[in-house]
Amino acid sequence: MRNDQTFRQELNQALDYADILDRIAGYASFSGSAARIREAMPVTDRIFVREQLDLAQEARTFTQNGQSASLAGITDIRSVLQMAQKGQVLTTQELLEVYLFLRAVDGLSRAFDAGLYPKLSELADSLVADSRLESAIQDAVGMDGTLKPDASPALVRLNRELTQSRASLAARGREFVKMNSPALMEHMTTSIGGRLCVLVKAQDKYRFGGMIHGSSQSGQAFYVEPAAFVEANSHVQSLQAEIEEEKHRICRDLTKRVGNAAFSLESDFETVTEIDTALAKGRWVLDVDGVIPSLQERDGSLRLVHAVHPLLDREKAVANDYRLKPRQQVLMISGPNMGGKTVTLKTVGICVVLAQAGFPVPAHEALLPWYESMWFDIGDNQSISENLSTFSSHMTRISGLVSSAGRGTFALLDEVGNGTDPLEGASLAVAVLEDLMDKGATVLTSTHYSQVKSWGKAADGVLVSSMEFDAETLQPTYRYVEDVSGASYAFDIAARCGLPTSVIDRARERKEQEASQVQRELENLERLQETVRHKEERFRSLIDDAHRLQKEADQEKEKARKDRQRIREEYAANLDSMLDEKREEAERIIQDLKGKEKLHELVADRTKLNSLGQDEEADGAEPETSASTKPHVFHVGDYVRLTGLNTHGEIVDIRRKEATVLANGIRTRVKLSKLEPMARPVIRKPERTHRVDAVASRFPSELNIIGMRVEEGLDALDHYLDQAVVHHATVVRIIHGMGTGRLRSAVWKDLSKRSTIKSYEAAGPSDGGLGATIVTLR
């Protein structure tokens, strides 16, 4: 892999590589890791790249789980360590930077669970937390970057003596002013050069002895240090000098300790930088909804799902899927200008480069090959100083590519052969692509040339695709359409831009005259492919509508079932309540009967007892059975109809004139007079009209939707459960991951609405725990 400055410039110009790394570096906590991100380059060291991607994966999970590692306040301390090793005394601010770094190391060493984040934990375990040096600096230096007054016992003593001396000197000054106020210009003391003075009238400047430190601007007064102040002033300054010397000694001692620990601190700095770089990648990949790529060495197959260029606004950008099958070496993209061809090339190219630099990629799924070398030719690189035209500039780079290409080469070429005669340019483009294919290189290219598209359609190993263009609005949709070559729409766009119809018609005639039979057939094929694709999209839309209607029908069915269940429960509750009231009234009457002795009272209560239950027969009741007609004798096990309730069931118990009937799973006590015998209905099992073939045995028992958005995950779940019903699956597993919990909640909500689901629950510890759901189908 090239790793020179020219290759770096090529990456920056062709893929905006530096701008993308700047964005990722913005997620770093300090300048050291930000610089490492900005300096990253694609490499061929497989072990290094895999380690970087594994760390980024753990960092993504760490961040997704809501955890964080505090690195706030730390800086790049390497220059400070070098100064300490050379014996240069560090300032208190520099010592504070070392302390903040040591504190971050101490916290980082305990931040990662070895079971969940083994690689990050392994790095953190290698950190050497120097708690003694950390405590020593903390005891001496405050968080404001100044030395603490109690940094040492000597400093405490000196500060106390200084405070006392200043207080004594101030008292002496107040006394002097009070006694000599007529000779003073101001009745207060002042400080000149750190020594206490008074402002004396000019004629009295020698009156008090001592030293004269200067005069006022008018010359009418002088700043005098009286002889009475000299000794005390000198003592104060002596104490101040001793304090500064003690501070210097403290900083010198701490600097020596930092210098002795410099090797360990430099090692810790590298480790902290490595961890913070991984955490920055993890935060970035979550923000761009990206993925950690998988790199394979089997063949040249490539797959990117829902990929978006990282510099585009993800809310507005159109995501696309790109792939190359194992035997396909060239992905050729056609379509009109400004349709998104170059952005497509850059999107695939930056995913390849980021992956081999150890970074996540902006896609939902990424499977990429290893490449030993990379070449990029995008944009116009005219050079006035080197007298190179656009065509010459392209050919210079392509000649370098062709000379060094081989198996494991990745080339991204925009408009090969552009900038010269179209026929010669197209012929040259085909020759270059054929040569690169013969050498085993993988090539992504774009073209306008019909001859190149015709060759690509006929050549093995070439996938000709296009960027969709709306023929009605003449606007690009930026959607990538696989295996469909796109037209240029040059005449339509020219007409839209106001070119006269006569000119466009003349151009069409000339095109028809000069176009070869192959070109005409190619254009006809492009139109046919476009028609078929629109029909496929319409068909897919109809299937989606059918799924939606089926789900709505299932929801309505479930609602009706719940309504029926509610009505049954309300009916049973009302019936039980009514029967309980009648039983209570009967008990009261029976208790009254036991206490009555008079015949007429007994007859009245017996009449009340016989009348119980007749009130509900008053409306719509059938006439009583005549004496000549014998009532039907019911037995346990008879199948009966409950008159007035429009239901039927089996008698399970008979007591006196009441029977307990099991109807629709509900036990109901009713009077025998309310029952009619009926024949037990025969329930026929429906015949199975479908067949089960060998496909059922191959139906997957689990669905993995980790990394999908909620809408995509539910679409995949809907399709999978439909297939599960068709294949008579009984138990399946849905793998959705833990993450933020949104996808899991959406899956459970969807399952709760399905009539085909018997039950669902979180998987056991060995089956994925909260990251998976076990579903049992009816």
Residue-by-residue DSSP string for 447-469: ---HHHHHHHHHSTTEEEEEEEE
- Over residues 298-344, the pLDDT tens digits come to 888 999 999 999 998 888 888 999 999 988 999 999 877 666 788 89
Strand partners, 645: none
CB–CB of 35/2 below 8 Å? no
340 is in an annotated binding site: yes
For the record, the structure tokens of 105 come out as: 């190391």
Q: DSSP label at 36?
A: H
Close Cβ partners of 739 (under 8 Å, ≥ 6 residues apart): 64, 706
- Over residues 592-629, the pLDDT tens digits come to 666 555 544 554 555 555 555 444 444 444 444 444 45
163 is in an annotated binding site: no
CA distance 411 to 401: 8
Q: Which of 286, 290, 315, 317 is nearest to 304 (CA)?
A: 290
Q: Which of 51, 52, 47, 25 is nearest to 36 (CA)?
A: 25
CA distance 380 to 386: 14
Predicted local confidence at residue 628, as pLDDT: 44
CA distance 489 to 481: 16
Q: Which of 384, 394, 401, 437 is nearest to 415 (CA)?
A: 394
CA distance 772 to 345: 37
> CATH for 153-254?
1.10.1420.10
Close Cβ partners of 239 (under 8 Å, ≥ 6 residues apart): 158, 161, 162, 165
Predicted local confidence at residue 489, as pLDDT: 59
342 is in an annotated binding site: yes
Tokens 């176009």 belong to residue: 515
HSE (side-chain half, CA atoms, 13 Å) at 271: 24
Q: Coil, strand, or helix at residue 777?
A: strand
Q: Which of 136, 151, 146, 153 is nearest to 261 (CA)?
A: 136
Amino acid occupying residue 394: H
Predicted local confidence at residue 226, as pLDDT: 94
338 is in an annotated binding site: yes
Predicted local confidence at residue 630, as pLDDT: 65
For the chain, which ranges sit under pLDDT 70? 2-3, 337-339, 379-390, 419, 470-474, 486-497, 504, 507, 510-538, 540, 590-630, 644-646, 664-665, 682-698, 765-766
- The CATH 3.40.50.300 domain(s) of the chain lie at 294-499
> What class does CATH assign to 5-130+261-287?
mainly alpha
256 phi and psi angles, rounded to 5 deg: -60, -40
Amino acid occupying residue 28: A
CB–CB of 731/700 below 8 Å? no
> How many other CB atoms are found less than 10 A from the CB of residue 754?
20
Q: Which of 696, 709, 776 is nearest to 737 (CA)?
A: 709
335 is in an annotated binding site: yes
Q: Coil, strand, or helix at residue 123?
A: helix
336 is in an annotated binding site: yes
Our measurement of the distance from residue 623's CA atom to the centroid of its chain's CA atoms, rounded to an integer in Å, reads 76
Q: Which of 704, 701, 774, 768 is nearest to 738 (CA)?
A: 768
Q: Does the domain made of 698-777 have the CATH classification 1.10.10.10?
A: no
149 is in an annotated binding site: no
535 phi and psi angles, rounded to 5 deg: -65, -40
Q: Looking at the structure, give the CATH architecture of the domain made up of residues 294-499.
A: 3-Layer(aba) Sandwich (3.40)
CA distance 711 to 713: 5
